[in-house]
Structures are given as structure tokens and as C-alpha cells.
Structure 1
Amino acid sequence: MNFNMKADILVAEIGSTTTVVNAFDAIDSDKPIFLGQGQAPTSVGMGDVTIGLFRSIDNLKENMKTDTLEWNEFFASSSAAGGLKMTVHGLVYDMTVRAAKEAALGAGAIIKYITAGKLRKSDLNKIKEIDPNLILVAGGVDYGERDTALYNMELILNMRLKTPIIYAGNIENRQEIMDITKDANQKIYMVDNVYPRIDDLNITPARQAIQQAFEEHITRAPGMAKIKELVNGPIIPTPGAVMEASMSLYEDIGDLLVVDVGGATTDVHSVTEGSDEIQKILISPEPAAKRTVEGDLGVYINLHNIIEYLEYDKLLEEFGKDIEKFIRDPKPIPETNMEKSFIEKITHEAVSIALRRHAGKLRSFYGPSGKKTIAEGKDLTNVKWVIGTGGALTRLSGRELLKKALSANTGSLYPKGNFSIFIDNHYIMASLGVLSKKYKRAAVSLLKESLSL
């Protein structure tokens, strides 16, 4: 037993069900070190998320076989406040609305409602019902249509929700929006247009504003204000952290796809420009870095949604009636071989559905000049690296589950040819996304080590 150990950095990932703390050392060297990991149930239900955090640090000390642990810096990501609920309002769905949606998902937000065109009374009622943490208003290319975004902004302001608003539309509207919002009791973020020109997505400024808003919202989780005082720098949304790690790794190894299966959601991240062949027939632009979040596909909180896809009776036939007890009262971490086999089945279904929703498709139709083929959605055909992260894929047969799901291609634009599958063995990808904000080289090195690259 070591009585005193030191680490350069601790990174906490405060999730909806589990809080994980990772320790790293030699962060400025050519060979940064992953020292160990601790985890404990997230303690939102106990009224203070710091309880779960300190228990996970205690578990980390046990795993590192030390009585005390000191560190120089402490970073964190979180999804414990239930995520950042957003509504998105633009002009045309396939243009500004979709660009705004990509910005929101890439930043780790949860989109609850989307509208295109001028808001109606029913839309305003829906926004009130959702009570979002953030509203994003877009619309019109730069120096194009102006009226819709101005009209929508005025209606939203008149609702007096006190909800922060991001304006990411036609830059010609900026002065007028500043005038109508100067007396509003709402935080207004003014960022560059998400769709400044036809076929041009500019989603990074909006993503950054969303993450800034998340930092303000995250204090709503009980005890999170205390964690803000403990950490160095902002607390960023966990899905956004995985995206940061994905983009950093892409710069080092090239086109990649990341599947993150959690207790509440299954997220898919891809960083790729796609193939020249598909780009020529793509009907609308896609961002190089794209994230989709499937809020109905979780292997713990949303277990019963996946059971519905697989059919309850068929599962009983395959696993026997003994599995009914586990279904009624599922555990965050399966223990018996039967429970693990069952969760592997559930995880495979979650991955398969999430991949189909994320990937684009080829579609053929007949016109005056004969048969024509077009591509819709995200092109993954150039992806050479497929990565699995999240509790289910890192602790179960993740490689085989991903291989099986990707082989069942039903006309989707899935990776082609020789792609390789790797697992985030240390389950540290989200933490490394946080780390990459300050120590990018170290984060990429540690991630490659976790992936056995």
C-alpha cells in the first residue's frame, strides 16, 4: 500500500447513472501516463452529485492502492443535469434548421423541438411546455431573407421565458436584434450565421456558444455548483467531450466513426468528409464532424424501449423466464453470464438502430432522362477507423458487436472495405476530450494507447 500518491490531472465524468474519475500523470512528457480509474453511482437522487464524485475518488484510491491522492489540476464533463434541452427555429428545414441542429448535437445538447418558417401559436405553446434551457434562432443566408428570423425572435421574446437565446442567422439582422433585445431580461448570444451561403455549413461558432450556455446551466444539478469550485476551467457536456476527442484523433489518424453506448442514450460521432464519388450525388451538405444522439436507445434507463424493438416474448424464448427479474429491476452493471449475454443482445440492437439513423443512404428514382441515383445524409464510406466507447461496448464484447452491426448493411452509406475496429479499453475517451482542450497532444497519445493503436 502506497501512503501518498500524486497525479498531474484528475478528470471526472459525471454521467446520468455513473460517475467516473480518471487520473493522469506526466502530462507534459512524450509519454503521458494513465494511472487508474475509479467509479461510483451518480448521486443526483441523494441531492448532491459531489457524494458520488468523492466516492469515485475513494474508489480510484483503492484501485491505485494508496491512502491519499494529490493532484495539480481537476477537469470535468457532465450529463447529470439531464442534458441541455434546446429548441431550434429556422427558415428552411434542409438549410438553416438542419445546420442549427448539427451545431446543437455536436455541442452535446438535446433537441426537444424544431420548427421551420414563421412560428405559430401552437409552436409557442409547445416551447412553453418544453421549458427549454436554451433556444437557437437562425434563418436566411447572409444578405438574404430577413423577416422570418426577426419575426420569430420577437415572438419568443414576448413569451418572457428568461431562457437564453442564441441568434445564428442572417448577419443583416444583427443590429435590429440588438435593438429589440436590449431591454429583454434574457441572455442573448450573437454568433456567426450557421448557414451563411448556399451549401455552406458554419456550425463551430454556434457550438461554442451552446457549450458556454451549458456551463451556466449545469449548476442546476444538485451540488454541481460545488464541483464548479473544485475544477480548473469549464465543465463541458460529456457528449461534446467525446466529439472533441473524436476530432482530435481524426487530425492524427484520419476518417473515423465513434459509437458510444450509455445507460440513457446511444450516441454516434463521425468525422469524415466522405468520398468524392458520393459528394457528387449528395443532395445537401453534411458537416465533417457530425453527432447523432438517440435518446430512446439506452441499455439501462431506456432498456425497455429496446426490448420493444426486439419483442419481449422472443427475448423470453431466447433467455428463459429467469431474465424477467432482471428486466423488471435492471442493474447498471450486469453480473451473471446470463445478464451479460442479455445486455450484449440489447447493446447490439441499440448500435444497429443508431448506426442506421446516423448514416446516409442511396436513393434511386426515374426521371425524364432515366434512372438517377442520389445520396442523402452522412457518407461514412471513407471511414477507416471504427471506435467503441461507453460502458456497454468497453466492458462487453464491443468489437464483435460493432462488427456484426456494420456487416448488416441495408443500403446505408456505411464504411466500405478495410476498416478496423478498436475499443476504448480504458473507457477514457470522454475524459480525454476534456483533457484535449488544454493538453491536446497528451490526449491523443493516451487515447491511442487506450485503443491499442
Structure 2
Amino acid sequence: MDAYLLIDFGSTYTKLTAVDIENEEILATSKDITTIETNIMDGFNNAYRKLIENLNGRDVNFVRKLACSSAAGGLKMVAIGLVPELTAEAAKRAALGAGARVLKTYSFELTKNEINEIKNSNIDIILLAGGTNGGNKSCILHNAKMLAEHNVDLPIVVAGNKVTYDEIRDIFEDNNMSFSLAENVMPVLNELNVDPAREEIRKVFMKNIIEAKGLGKAEEMVNGILMPTPAAVLKAAEYLSKGSDEEDGLGDLIVIDIGGATTDIHSLADGEPTKGGVTIRGLEEPFAKRTVEGDLGMRYSATSILEAAGTKKLRKYLGDTEREIDISGNCQLRTENIKMIPKTEDEIKFDEALGKVATELALTRHVGFVEVTYTPMGPMYTQTGKDLMETKYVIGTGGIIVHSERANEILKAGEFNIEEPIYLKPKKPEYLVDRTYILSAMGLLAQELPDMAVRIMKKYLVNLN
């Protein structure tokens, strides 16, 4: 039978999914440790052998092999803009939507110290923005000159004031810089236009980054490494929400992806106020929004979760205040043993508590909030960010959620809390779990067969309600 082989070269595991394209079924899945430190094909070959075993002797012809990757730290970027709350924030959102981990955002004119920081930050791509079209020119031109004069040898995606492009092109070409031009991420004040920059970042990722991360040998084997893994998950979520040409979507949804180093939140919703009398303030929100919390991870960042949440919150989720559980020691153990698999009931419960904290804090940072101002005319309510209170579905993925028998409890930690009413979290969503890790695979499949990808997601995501 003809099938697609969909591959995720993950930061920890290489995951394979075989899809029967005639019957629209997942034939088998498998995973093995990603071997980026030696040869990435070693981990792939181990996972492929397991996949063949899981096919149970079925004769499969892989007509297409598509891949995404977050190996070797994934795609790391810095974003540069003008005003922190406007073009700099717009650039950051464009980079996050492209599947990058944004290490830092810079605003206004770059200093020599900041240039040196960028050169020493182990990033892959720079996103250079600044100014609305026809607006401020001096800042983005200053920053382009600084990058060129200090020989910053990194691919640069320019997505700022379009009237500066001729001069920026001359600056970069005269200094043999690697660069590409995209439409402005904020062509008009407070109006986002992030999709062109996202697409340009994806192209640069495919062209420049794959070989640098040792993925060249993998690319020879597949039909293409199409995008970073987080971008594939966001693409799948967007199709599942909006639907495709022939398939209806599910409507507004949130994806919670808890990993070893980060917790990613994807929201697919307009985020308009759900209550009357509320006005919106701040930058326009994209329909498909992704945030990454680098201090909320189950292993690499376990001690950072403790720093962010405090002992009291972890003890609340452990639900056992009478015993003297060594919170700090348990977090340190996980940070020092990133491949630790919980075996005892105590280890499982501690991991679940970490997962609940990661969910709660990541949702708090992702959703919008409401503030009240008292005026002579009475109270006025303003909303910053997205209102996600009426979100229909919350989808969980990542090891702690996939393998937990209490996944719904972990996801419910992100629900609206009457004790913190300003945060516009979902009230009564239905909970789904990506038990077979198909979201990134379906993001790849949606590039070529979007209708099928939507149908498969509807079929295989497990409803916890």
C-alpha cells in the first residue's frame, strides 16, 4: 500500500508516523533518541526499525517522506524592532509563529554591547524590523549598518519599513551579508502582518540552517525538511481550527505542549472580548498565536519551574502538605537527569505537579487580561491580549500529558480561576489529547493533503470528556 512517512527530528526523540493515504489511517508510529551529537541518521534508523516491526509485516511503499525538526536546539532567533510594545513585539510574534525560540528582543538603536551580545548568542537567524511603512527610517537603517559594520555573520530577514529596503539592500550587499526581504510585520500602526515574515524565516531555515545543524544527511533521505517542529504543530492546529477546503474545523482551540525544556502554547482564536462594555488596548493579536515559556520545562527547566512558581504552588498540586517532600531536590534531580522516566507513584505524582504548574503559568502568560479604570462616568474595562474564555477545545501534547492517566487534571490547571479573574482563560472547554504524537506529523501532511490531515486529526485525537 502507498503511504506517507512523516518524521519529527525532535530535540530529545525522533518520532515517525506512517499514514495510509488511501484509507486515511495511521498505520504505525515509533520513536527513538535523537542522535544529533553523532549522526542524526542513527536515531532515525533505530526508530525506522521499530516502525517496520510495528507495521506487522504489512507491505508499505513510502511515496513521500516529509520531516520537521527541532533538533540541536531547534530554530533560535533574536528579533529587532523600534518600539518595544509595537514593531519589536510584532517581530517577536512573527519569529514565534515561524517556530523559533526567541532568545531576546531588542528595541530602538542597537549599541555595541548589544551587537556583541547578538554575535555571542548562538542564534540561527536575525529578524530585523522597525517602523511602519513610510514611518521612522533612521532606527532600522542604523541597526542594519551596525550589523554590517560589525560583521554579524548570520542570515537576516528584513521585515520593516519598506521605504528603507533599497538602502538596506545596498548596505548588506556591500558587506556580503546573507539576507532576504519580507513584507513589513507592521505596515500600519497596531496592524500585524506576520505571515510573509514567517514564510521567509521558514525558507531560510530550510536553506541555511539544515546543513548547519547536521541535518544534511537526513535531507538526502527525505523529500524535504519543511519547517521547524513548532511551526508544524501550529500549522496542524490552524487547519484543525479553521478546517480545509472540504472539511469543517473545530473552531477556537488551544494547544498545550509541555516539553523537557519549554512549554509552548498555541491559540487559534480571534480573542475578541466575550463580555460587553470591554475595549481592546495594545497590539493586534494574530489568529494563530504561539508563545514559548523557556523556564517551564519538565527536565531541563525543572528548577526554573520552582523559581517561577515557588514551593507553595507545587505543594498545592502535590496535594500532600503533611509529608516533607524535598521539592528542591526533586527538581534538581530532573534537571540533572534529563532522560529520567518516572517509575514510582511518587515520581509520577511529582511530574504531574510540575506539569500542572507549567500549564497554569504558561496559560496565564499567554492569555489576555482585563483591567478596570474608575472614571467620573463609572468603571471602564480594557482588555490587553486575547480573550480565550469561550474556547471550545484544549488539546494536550508532550510526554507528561500523553503518558499520564490523569491528563485531564493537568490540562484543567489552565482553566479560568475565580481567584485570578483578570486572566481570560478558558472556562469550560472539552479536553483532547494527542496520544500518538500526530500534531507535528499532521502539520507536515497538511502542506500537501490538508483535507486528509484534518480528517485524521478528528479521528485520532482522544476526547477526555
CA distance 1:321–1:115, change in 2 (3 Å): closer
Q: Is the 8 A contact 2:357 2:413 kept in 1?
A: no
Counterpart in 2 of 1:413?
424
In structure 2, how many angstroms separate the alpha carbons of the residues matched to 1:119 and 1:367? Answer: 40
- SS for the counterpart of 1:55 is helix
Task: Write the deviation string for residues 346-367 of structure 1: whole angstroms up to 9, x where unpaired.
Answer: 1111111111111111112335
- Aligned counterparts of 1:246 and 1:299: Cα–Cα separation in 2: 23
Match of 2:374 in 1: 366
Give the counterpart letter for 2:413 in structure 1: K
Gaps of 5+ in 2: 243-248
Residue 356 (structure 1) aligns with: 364
Counterpart Cα distance in 1 of 2:153 and 2:56? 49
1:75 CA drift (Å): 0.8
Structure 1 residues 353, 168: closer, same or farther in 2, change over 3 A? same
Moved more, 199-208 or 314-323: 314-323
User: What is the one-letter code of the residue matched to 1:190?
Assistant: L
Provide the C-alpha distance between the structure 2 equivalents of 1:271 and 1:348, rounded to a whole number of angstroms. 22
1:85-164 matches, within 5 Å, as 85-164=76-155
CA–CA separation in structure 2 for the residues paired with 1:348 and 1:319: 20
CA distance in 2, matches of 1:66, 1:265: 38
Residue 389 (structure 1) aligns with:
397
Q: Give the counterpart letter for 1:262 in structure 2.
A: G
Alpha-carbon shift at residue 184 of structure 1 (Å): 2.5
Q: In structure 2, how many angstroms separate the alpha carbons of the residues matched to 1:304 and 1:292? A: 20
Structure 1 length as normaliser, TM-score? 0.91
Partner of 1:11: 6
The whole-number CA distance in structure 1 between the counterparts of 2:326 and 2:379 is 52
> What is aligned with 2:348?
340
Report what 1:3 is aligned to: none
Matches within 5 A, 1:131-280: 131-215=122-206, 216-222=208-214, 224-251=215-242, 252-277=249-274
> Quick one: which amino acid aligns to residue 414 of structure 2?
A
Q: Any conservation in 1 of the 2:133–2:187 contact (CA below 8 Å)?
A: yes
How far off its partner does 1:161 sit? Answer: 1.8
SS of 2:174's equivalent? Answer: coil
Q: Aligned-pair distance for 1:371?
A: 3.1
Letter aligned with residue 23 of structure 1: A
Q: Distance in 1 between matches of 2:432 and 2:61?
A: 32
| Residues 452 and 182 of structure 1, relative CA distance in 2, 3 Å threshold | same
**Counterpart contact for 1:278–1:379, Cα < 8 Å:** no
User: SS of 1:161's equivalent?
Assistant: coil
Q: Which moved more, 1:389-398 or 1:330-339?
A: 330-339
| Contact 2:273–2:383 (CA under 8 A) maintained in structure 1 | no
Alpha-carbon offset, residue 422 of structure 1: 1.0
When the two chains are superposed, the root-mean-square deviation of aligned CA atoms in Å is 2.4
Q: Once the 2 structures are TM-superposed, how far is the Cα of residue 317 of structure 1 from its aligned partner?
A: 6.7
CA distance in 2, matches of 1:301, 1:415: 28
Q: CA distance change for structure 1 residues 183 and 335 in 2, over 3 Å: closer, same or farther?
A: same
Give the whole-Å Cα distance in 2 for the aligned partners of 1:58 and 1:317. Answer: 48
Instruction: Give the letter for the 2:259 counterpart.
Output: G
Distance 2:338 2:462 in 1: 32
CA contact 1:425–1:451 (8 Å) conserved in 2: yes
Aligned to 1:449: 459
Contact 1:99/1:194 (8 A) holds in 2: yes
Judged with a 3 Å threshold, the aligned counterparts in structure 2 of structure 1 residues 150 and 368 are, in CA distance, closer, same or farther, namely: farther
Q: CA separation of 1:159/1:53 partners in 2, compared to 1, >3 Å: closer, same or farther?
A: same
Distance 1:149 1:278 in 2: 39
| Aligned amino acid, residue 183 of structure 1 | D
Please tell me the residue identity of whatever aligns with 1:287.
P
Counterpart of 1:73 in structure 2 is 64
Q: 1:43 is matched with which residue?
A: 35
The answer to whether the 8 A contact 1:61-1:68 is kept is no
- Taking the aligned partners of 2:200 and 2:372, their CA distance within structure 1 comes to 39
Amino acid at match of 2:210: I
Paired with 2:56 and 2:344, the residues of 1 have a C-alpha distance of 27
| SS in structure 2 of the partner of residue 236 of structure 1 | strand
Q: Any gaps of 5 or more consecutive residues in structure 1?
A: 1-5
Equivalences, count:
442
- The secondary structure found in structure 1 opposite 2:216 is helix
Render the CA deviation track for 1:149-172: whole Å, top value 9, x for unaligned: 111111111111221111111111
SS in 2 for 1:182: helix
Partner of 2:290: 291
2:411 to 398, 402, 406: 402
For 1:396-426, what per-residue CA distance to the aligned partner results, in whole angstroms no more than 9, with x for missing partners? 122221123314352211123x421111122
Residue 245 of structure 2 aligns with which residue?
A: none
CA contact (8 A) 1:272 1:382 kept: no
SS of the residue corresponding to residue 66 of structure 1 reads: coil
Residue 427 of structure 1 corresponds to 437
After superposition, what is the alpha-carbon deviation per residue over 1:106-165, rounded to whole angstroms, capped at 9, x for unaligned? Answer: 111111121221112222222122142111111111111111111111111111122111
How far apart are 1:256 and its partner, in Å? 0.8
Contact 1:16 1:82 in 2 (8 A): yes
Structure 1 residues 228, 330: CA separation in 2 closer, same or farther (over 3 Å shift)?
A: closer
SS in 1 for 2:280: coil
Q: Distance in 2 between matches of 1:297 and 1:351?
A: 9
TM-score when normalising by structure 2: 0.89
